[in-house]
Amino acid sequence: MTLPLDELRAVARRQLDPAAARPLFVTISGAHLYGFSSPDSDFDVRGCHLLPLPAVVSMSPQRETIEYSGVEEGREIDFVSHDAAKFFRLMLRKNGYVMEQVFSPIVVIGGPDLDELREIARGCLTRHLHHHYRGFFENQMALFEKEAVKRAKTLLYAYRVLLTGIHVQRSGEIEANLPRLLELEPQPGVADLMAAKVQEKAGVGGADLEFHRKSLGALKQRLVEAFERSTLPEEPRRAADLDRFLVRLRLAGS
Q: What is the pLDDT of residues 86-132, one digit of tens each?
A: 999 999 998 999 999 999 999 999 999 999 999 999 999 999 999 99
* The predicted structure's pLDDT at residue 202: 57
| CA–centroid distance for 38 within its chain | 18
| Closest-CA residue to 125 (of 1, 239, 248) | 239
Least confident of 3-12, 196-205, 242-251: 196-205
The pTM of this model reads 0.94
* The predicted structure's pLDDT at residue 149: 86
Does residue 106 sit in the same domain as residue 76? Answer: yes
Does residue 133 sit in the same domain as residue 119? Answer: no
> What is the chain's Cα-based Rg?
19
CA–CA gap between residue 133 and residue 204 (Å, rounded): 23
Does residue 19 sit in the same domain as residue 113? Answer: yes
| CA–centroid distance for 162 within its chain | 14
Instruction: Summarize pLDDT for 43-70 with one digit per residue, the tens.
Output: 999 999 999 998 898 888 888 999 999 9
More confident residue, 209 or 89: 89
Instruction: Output DSSP code: residue 149.
Output: S
Residue range 209-237: mean pLDDT, rounded: 97
Does residue 118 sit in the same domain as residue 192? Answer: no
Does residue 114 sit in the same domain as residue 9? Answer: yes
Report the b/e string of 41-52 with b at 16+ CB within 10 A: bebbbbbbbbbb
| Sequence-separated (6 or more) residues with CB below 8 Å from residue 244 | none
Instruction: Quote the domain boundaries for residue 95.
Output: 5-124+238-252
* The predicted structure's pLDDT at residue 205: 66
In this prediction, residue 201 has a pLDDT band, given cuts at 50, 70 and 90, of low
Instruction: Summarize pLDDT for 8-28 with one digit per residue, the tens.
Output: 999 999 999 876 789 999 999
Instruction: Summarize pLDDT for 169-200 with one digit per residue, the tens.
Output: 999 999 999 999 999 999 999 999 998 887 76
> Could you tell me whether strands 107-109 and 22-29 are parallel, antiparallel, or unpaired per DSSP bridges?
antiparallel
Does residue 12 sit in the same domain as residue 75? Answer: yes
